[in-house]
């Protein structure tokens, strides 16, 4: 969770967009299998479709957001589910107020 790494992760329109979507996944993703988005997160494929960029690009973006600490991921079978790490955002909010 290096500051610079976090800000770089946030310096891209699509990545910011993804974070927004994951804030209210039920609102932003179709849910044909009634997944518990809130608990388990959203799989890469859904995010990719919505973003409209290639699968590889989105995979890298998600990995980047995770390395920065803003997302957590959980593999379940052939799917990897990503969700927000709300604690990281709270921490970042505080960092901005105190450290930056």
**Interface contacts to a second copy, rule CB under 8 A:** 3-4, 7-8, 10-13, 16, 19-20, 89-90, 92-94, 96-97, 100
Residue from 30, 34, 56, 99 in contact with DNA (CB under 7 A): 56
Residue from 23, 55, 87, 96 in contact with DNA (CB under 7 A): 55
Q: Which does 93 bind (CB under 5 to 8 A by kind): DNA, a second copy, none?
A: a second copy
The alpha carbon dihedral of 56, 59, 64, 67 has a sign of: negative
- Tell me which H or E stretch contains 85: none
3 Cβ contact list (under 8 Å, min separation 6): 95, 99, 100
């Amino acid at each position: 969770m290096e500051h610079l790494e976090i800000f770089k992760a946030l310096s891209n329109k699509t990545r910011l967009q993804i974070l927004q979507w994951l804030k209210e996944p039920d609102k932003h993703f179709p849910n044909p299998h009634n997944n518990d988005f809130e608990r388990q997160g959203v799989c890469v494929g859904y995010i990719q479709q919505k973003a409209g960029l290639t699968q590889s690009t989105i995979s890298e973006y998600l990995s980047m957001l995770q390395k920065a600490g803003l997302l957590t991921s959980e593999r379940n079978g052939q799917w990897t589910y990503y969700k927000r790490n709300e604690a990281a955002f709270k921490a970042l909010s505080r960092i901005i107020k105190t450290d930056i």
